[in-house]
Amino acid sequence: MRFGLFGSAQAKRSGPDTDSSQGFRDFIDNNVEAEALGFYSTFLVEHHFTGFGQVSASLNLLTWLGARTGHLRLGTAVLVLPWHNPVLLAEQAATLDLLSGGRLDFGVGKGYRYNEFAGFCLPMEEADARFDESLNIITRAFTAEMPFSYRGKFWQFENIVVEPPTAQKPHPPFWMGAGSPDSVRQVAERGYNMLLGQHSLTEEIFGQVAQFRAEVEARRGIFEPMRVAVARAVHIAKNAADKEAALERRYQGHMRINALARCPDGDTRERFKSHEVEARYESAESALFGTPDEIMNKLDALRRGGVEYVIINFGGSRENIRRFARDIMPAFADAPQSLALAG
Amino acid sequence: MRFGLFGSAQAKRSGPDTDSSQGFRDFIDNNVEAEALGFYSTFLVEHHFTGFGQVSASLNLLTWLGARTGHLRLGTAVLVLPWHNPVLLAEQAATLDLLSGGRLDFGVGKGYRYNEFAGFCLPMEEADARFDESLNIITRAFTAEMPFSYRGKFWQFENIVVEPPTAQKPHPPFWMGAGSPDSVRQVAERGYNMLLGQHSLTEEIFGQVAQFRAEVEARRGIFEPMRVAVARAVHIAKNAADKEAALERRYQGHMRINALARCPDGDTRERFKSHEVEARYESAESALFGTPDEIMNKLDALRRGGVEYVIINFGGSRENIRRFARDIMPAFADAPQSLALAG
């Protein structure tokens, strides 16, 4: 199996006693060490206006990290396209890809948080159309050999050549999140790689991996297990109480995010449907929290369902990164098995 | 006196035999060495759609450089505000400022190249209004302690808190280019630092520095000579023929930029007024090209006119960076003199 890191960093707004850069420095140091310990990649979120210091300029933080690492792949999970001028974003991404010797994994999304659409004064109903248009433009920006013009609904460009060139050809791998059969199909249709969320249940993930494989093969593609990365939170617990406390923090954190994401005048989206008992079950089932043995059992189960690439949210704990690398990772060091197992 | 670097890097679109990242790597390596040699800062341009590989994502390239250096100041000269979402730009700039421990010099401009306005499909007539509005938003984004909303002509934001915080308080120093008495006055009025262009004649610079000092003092401010940085190209010539060839390259390069900058249907802006003889004179007079003695004489003249901070375009030549540091810089290592001399 292959393991990466997934998550954010936190730069708190500084009071007189706060060093607000500490959270970013910890993120960098954790990732530098993770590279040395055998982690393959890092995937970084992008969020705005939270008030609790989530990473907003993810490509910039990844660029600093790129300069401090040698082979760690640098992923976004995800860049939210509706916020960005697609040409500026393509330039920024290409700059990182070029500087890092082709280590960018270009994860993209449509956005889901109400507070971000509201903050940017963009109607949520435009998310899909903005996402599609931006992807068209970015793909052309990365690949066009001649100047091009674009007349879209949201963006217009005239006779442009987008520089610098990317290091990876024809462009960095595109990754896209999926949470429903329709979005899994879309990812396969576009030929992208697929990110599966850290709150999805194991059974859902099995279904999504199987569907993705079928969709790829139906289009005469070859299914590569490493084209699917599953996000998971890991906490190696000291004891039962520590595990319970970590699960409670996870649940509360998820609720805090949901509060930002929810439209104030009712929100019928799937993520808001579950009741507390159900939500607590999902939060716990999807977490890899517990003893190393418990965690290994859950990883084994994922692997049996066709998952070979897991990107892990350690909540910033360097100790857990080290223990995972020492106590868990070696047992999964063998070659991918799902090509033999699945199908 | 204080010396920095100024300029671009060049990432050529790669053919089968081109390594397009070489230009960026050279830029990084030059700057890492320049820091060790005693240069104080680097100022990086931002340009788009040139087709010859100028830097487009300047904050990203500076971020990589920031991770490779320890005290070099990281400047933009300039970020062209009309291209950018001001909130995203503030987030990117704050991320760099935070990661670098407060080394960002935030140079801003309105844009002047026709091909860029055309490429982004923005009317050139909006440059001033977009610049002003973006500066208002960015300043609030850097300094607001509470969430704020903004309803502008070009941008709207609702109840946002912009993160991360900057390391420098209340915000990184703002730098702004000036080329006319009106723009010098504006820079002083805003309380910003001033960048003077690499093609301005020595006498013009003297006038601009004197005016800036007078404007600052008229507003009961204290004139600090290090608040003015003058851009200059330096080439330490091997002999007369080498100097002539370098001057010719400089002139041709300037013409090439002017061709991109010029509106196709006539352009009456100041920069396009001079005839070839005059333009060649200006190009040569403003250049510090020649023997170390010739260059030192020109630097001495600048200092006598109140200039204490020169940011140098070496055209990417590491040899010239080294020779300047060895043969020229030590003669100007003493403390600023203009406070005593000018006024």
Is residue A343 over pLDDT 50? Answer: no
Least confident piece of the model among A208-222, B28-42, B246-260: B246-260
Residue B63 touches chain A, beta carbons under 8 Å: yes
C-beta atoms of B63 and A64 within 8 A: yes
User: B287-296, pLDDT tens digit by residue?
Assistant: 999 999 999 9
Average pLDDT over residues A195-214: 96
CA–CA distance, B203 with B209 (Å, rounded to integer): 10
User: Which position has the token pair 């249709």?
Assistant: A189
Contact A151, A299 (CB under 8 A): no
Query: Do B163 and A118 count as a contact with CB atoms less than 8 A apart?
Result: no
Look at residue A14 in the predicted model and tell me its pLDDT. 63
User: Would you say residue A4 has pLDDT above 70?
Assistant: yes
Q: What is the pLDDT of residue A266?
A: 76
Q: Do A164 and B63 touch (CB under 8 A)?
A: no
Whether A165 and B51 lie within 8 Å, measured CB to CB: no
Around Cβ B202, how many Cβ atoms within 10 Å?
Answer: 16
Q: How many CB atoms lie within 10 A of CB B227?
A: 21
pLDDT in tens, A42-62: 999 999 998 888 899 999 999
Q: Residue B340 pLDDT > 60, yes or no?
A: no
Distance of CA A287 to the CA centre of its chain: 16
Q: A314-334: per-residue pLDDT in tens? A: 999 999 999 999 999 999 987
Chain A residue at shortest CA distance from B170: A14
Give the mean model confidence (pLDDT) for residues B92-106. 98
Q: What does the pLDDT average to over B245-263?
A: 90
pLDDT band at B114 (very low <50, low <70, confident <90, very high): very high
Q: How far apart are CA B332 and CA B309, in angstroms?
A: 11
pLDDT of residue B335: 62
Cβ-contact B165, A14 below 8 angstroms: yes
Mean pLDDT of chain A: 93
| Mean pLDDT value of segment B31-60 | 95
Residues A163, B83: C-beta atoms closer than 8 Å? no
ipTM of the complex model: 0.95
The verdict on domain B2-77+173-341 having CATH code 3.40.50.300 is no
Spell out the SS3 assignment of B81-139.
HHHCCHHHHHHHHHHHHHHCCCCEEEEEECCCCHHHHHHCCCCHHHHHHHHHHHHHHHH
Q: Is B167 within 8 Å of chain A by CB?
A: yes
3-state secondary structure of A123: coil
Residue A36 has pLDDT above 70, yes or no: yes
Residue found under tokens 């487009």: B56
For residues B250-265, average pLDDT: 86
Q: Give the residue among A203, A211, A198, A210 at the shortest CA–CA distance from A310.
A: A198
* Chain A hits for B85, Cβ within 8 Å: 83-85
A126 by Cβ neighbours in 10 Å (0-12 / 13-18 / 19+) ranks as middle
Name all contacts of B253-256 with Cβ < 8 Å and 24+ positions apart. Answer: B254/B199, B254/B279, B254/B283, B255/B279
The rounded distance, in Å, linking the Cα atoms of B125 and B101 is: 38
Strand, helix or coil for residue A169: coil
Q: Report whether pLDDT(B257) > 90.
A: no
pLDDT score of A243: 97
Determine, for residues B54 and A163 on separate chains, whether the beta-carbon distance falls below 8 Å.
Answer: yes
Q: Where are the alpha helices (DSSP H) in A286-342?
A: 292-304, 318-323, 338-341
- Chain A residues with CB-CB distance to B123 below 8 A: none
Compute the nearest-CA separation of B151 from chain A (Å): 10
**pLDDT on residue B14:** 64
Q: Compute the distance between CA of residue A161 and CA of residue A55 in angstroms, rounded to an integer.
A: 30
**Which chain A residues have a beta carbon less than 8 Å from that of B118?**
158-159
**A165 vs B14, B68, B120: nearest CB:** B14
Three-state DSSP class for residue A164? coil
Distance between B38 CA and the closest CA of chain A, angstroms: 22
Q: Does B60 touch chain A (CB under 8 A)?
A: yes
Distance CA B142, CA B241 (A): 50
Whether B99 sits inside 8 A of A57 (CB atoms) is no
Residue of A119, A146, A132 lying closest to A56 (CA atoms): A119
Contact in structure between A116 and B87 (CB atoms under 8 Å): no
pLDDT, mean of residues A157-185: 96
Query: CA nearest A77: which of A99, A49, A98, A105?
Result: A105
B255 or B307, which is more confident? B307
pLDDT of residue A88: 98
**Model confidence at B342: pLDDT above 80:** no
Chain B residue numbers touching A167 (CB-CB < 8 A): 20-21
User: What is the rounded CA–CA span in Å between residue A30 and residue A61?
Assistant: 13
The pLDDT tens digits of the residues spanning B147-198 come to 999 999 999 999 999 999 999 999 999 999 999 999 999 999 999 999 999 9
DSSP class of B149: E
Measured in whole angstroms, how far is the alpha carbon of residue B233 from the centre of its chain? Answer: 12
User: Does the distance separating the beta carbons of B11 and A164 come in below 8 Å?
Assistant: yes
Does residue A140 sit at the B interface (CB-CB below 8 Å)? Answer: no
DSSP H or E stretch at residue A89: helix A86-99
pLDDT band of A339, cuts 50, 70, 90: very low
Contact pairs from chain A to chain B, CB under 8 Å: 173
Looking at residue B20, what is its pLDDT? Answer: 81
Q: Helices (DSSP H) in chain B: which residue ranges?
A: 22-37, 58-68, 86-99, 114-119, 127-143, 181-190, 202-218, 240-261, 276-285, 292-304, 318-323, 338-341
> Is residue B18 within 8 angstroms of chain A, CB to CB?
no
Listed in order, strand segments (DSSP E) in chain A are 2-7, 41-44, 73-76, 79-80, 104-109, 148-151, 156-160, 174-178, 193-196, 228-236, 288-290, 309-313
Query: Which residue from B121, B45, B240, B67 is spatially nearest to A27, judged by alpha carbons?
Result: B67
**pLDDT band of A341, cuts 50, 70, 90:** very low
Q: What is the pLDDT of residues A108-145, one digit of tens each?
A: 999 999 999 999 999 999 999 999 999 999 999 999 98
Q: Closest residue of A to B27, CA-based?
A: A99
State yes or no: pLDDT of A337 exceeds 70.
Answer: no
User: Worst-scoring range by mean pLDDT, A90-104, A174-188, A259-273, A300-314?
Assistant: A259-273
Confidence at residue A220, expressed as pLDDT on a 0 to 100 scale:
92
- Percentage with pLDDT > 90 across chain B: 82
B101 interfaces chain A, CB cutoff of 8 Å = yes
DSSP labels, A241-302:
HHHHHHHHHHHHHHHHHHHHHS-TT---SGGG---HHHHHHHHHHT-EEESHHHHHHHHHHH
Whether the pLDDT of residue B267 is over 90: the answer is: no
Read off the DSSP letter of residue B327: I
What are the Cα distances from residue A89, in Å, to A58, B22, B88?
11, 22, 11
Please provide the average confidence, as pLDDT, over all residues in chain B: 93
Which of the residue ranges A69-73, A237-241, A263-267, A337-341 would you say has the lowest mean pLDDT? A337-341
